[in-house]
C-alpha cells in the first residue's frame, strides 16, 4: 500500500516536495489556506512535470500517474491519516508552532512531523507538540525537483527512529542527506550561505566591488555554480533577510547581522527575481 504524505503549504517549496514525492510513489495531500494558492501550486507542479517530459527525463504516463497521486485541500484535518507530514509555510516561528500544535492533536501516534524550515531551531517548533521526539527538520533546497540535497535536523528530543524515518523518506524521493546533530539556528547550510551573502552584500554596499565582480570571484575563484548575490536574488532577498535575522537573533554573532541595504531593498520591494529587481535586474 502506498504511503501517505501531507504537505502543509503549497508555495515554491511545498509544491516541489509534493512533486518529487508523488513521482516517487507517495500518495500526497497538499494543503494550503486558499484555493488560489493550491491552484498556483498544482499549476507549478504540472508545468515542472511538463518540462521533464519535454526533455525526455520523465515518461508522459509517469507524469500523469504522479499528478493523479496528488490531491489538494484547505482542510488541515486531511493530514490525520498521513504517515509523514512536512510543513513548508512562511518562516515565522509563531505560524509554525500554531500548525504543529494543531497537527499534534490530529495525526497518528506514529506519524513523523517534519519542518522544511531553513533557519528556525527544530526544538522551538517541536515544543509546541506533546511528541517532540517525533519532530524533525527536513530542509529541502529550491528548486526541489532539481536540487539533490536534504538537510536532516535533529531537535533536542528527536529520536533515532524519527531521524531514520526522515532519512528513508528523503532518500526515497531521490535526495542525498546530511545530518545536523546539534539544533543551532540556521543549521549547516543556511549558516554558510548567510555568512557568505552578508559579507558579499557588505562588499557591494561599501563600493568595494560590483555585484557582477563579487559573484564572478566566487564562481571562478571558488568553483561556485552561482555567486552569493545572484543566489540572494534567486532565493529572495526577503527570505535571506528573515533567515539571517533568525540566526543573528539566536546567536548574537555579528557576522550574521544583515547589512542595512538588505533591509532597504526589502522595504522597497526589490527582492530579486520574483520582483524583477534585486542586486541585478531581470
User: Residue 97's domain is classified under what CATH number?
Assistant: 3.40.50.720
**Do residue 116 and residue 223 come from a single domain?**
no
Q: Could you tell me if residue 282 is inside a domain? A: no
Share of the chain above pLDDT 90, in %: 94
Mean pLDDT, rounded, of the chain: 96
Q: Answer yes or no: is 185 within a domain.
A: no
Same domain, 147 and 243: no
Residue 246 banded pLDDT, cuts 50, 70, 90: confident
31 and 93 in a single domain? The answer is yes
Expressed as residue numbers, the domain containing 81 is: 4-180
* pLDDT tens, residue by residue, 83-123: 999 999 988 899 999 999 999 999 999 999 999 998 889 99
Q: Compute the average pLDDT of residues 120-132.
A: 96
In a domain, 281, yes or no: no
Per-residue pLDDT tens over the stretch 189-201: 999 999 999 999 9
- Report residue 34 as a C-alpha cell: 486558499
Q: Are residues 128 and 228 in the same domain?
A: no
Q: What's the longest Cα–Cα distance across the chain?
A: 59
Residues 155 and 30 in one domain: yes
Backbone angles phi, psi at 145, to 5 degrees: -65, -20
pLDDT of residue 183: 92
Determine the Cα angle at 123 with ends 118 and 128, to 5°.
105
Which pLDDT belongs to residue 82? 98
Residue 1 confidence (pLDDT): 61
Count of structural domains, the chain: 2
Domain final position from 180, 210, 242: 180
Amino acid at each position: 500500500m502506498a504511503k501517505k504524505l501531507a504537505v502543509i503549504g503549497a508555495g515554491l517549496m511545498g509544491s516541489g516536495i509534493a512533486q518529487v514525492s508523488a513521482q516517487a510513489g507517495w500518495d500526497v495531500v497538499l494543503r494550503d489556506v486558499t484555493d488560489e494558492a493550491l491552484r498556483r501550486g498544482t499549476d507549478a507542479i504540472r508545468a515542472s512535470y511538463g518540462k521533464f517530459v519535454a526533455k525526455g527525463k520523465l515518461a508522459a504516463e509517469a507524469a500523469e500517474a504522479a499528478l493523479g497521486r496528488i490531491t489538494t485541500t484547505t482542510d488541515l484535518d486531511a493530514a490525520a491519516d498521513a504517515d509523514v507530514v512536512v510543513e513548508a509555510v512562511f518562516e515565522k516561528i509563531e505560524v509554525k508552532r500554531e500548525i504543529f500544535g494543531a497537527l499534534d492533536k490530529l495525526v497518528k501516534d506514529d506519524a513523523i512531523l517534519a519542518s522544511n524550515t531553513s533557519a528556525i531551531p527544530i526544538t522551538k517548533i517541536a515544543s509546541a507538540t506533546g511528541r517532540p521526539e517525533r519532530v524533525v527538520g527536513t530542509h529541502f533546497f529550491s528548486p526541489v525537483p532539481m536540487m539533490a540535497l536534504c538537510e536532516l535536523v535533529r531537535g533536542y528530543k528527536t529520536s533515532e527512529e524519527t531521524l531514520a524515518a526522515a532519512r528513508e523518506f528523503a532518500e526515497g524521493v531521490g535526495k542525498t542527506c546530511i545530518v545536523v546533530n546539534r539544533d543551532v539556528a540556521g543549521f549547516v547550510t543556511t549558516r554558510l550561505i548567510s555568512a557568505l551573502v552578508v559579507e558579499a552584500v557588505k562588499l557591494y554596499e561599501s563600493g568595494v566591488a560590483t555585484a557582477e565582480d563579487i559573484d564572478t570571484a566566487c564562481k571562478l575563484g571558488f568553483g561556485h555554480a552561482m555567486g552569493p548575490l545572484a543566489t540572494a536574488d534567486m532565493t529572495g532577498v526577503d527570505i535571506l533577510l528573515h533567515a539571517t535575522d533568525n540566526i543573528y537573533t539566536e546567536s548574537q554573532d555579528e557576522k550574521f547581522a544583515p547589512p542595512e541595504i538588505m533591509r532597504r531593498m526589502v522595504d522597497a520591494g526589490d527582492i530579486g527575481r520574483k520582483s524583477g529587481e534585486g542586486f541585478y535586474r531581470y
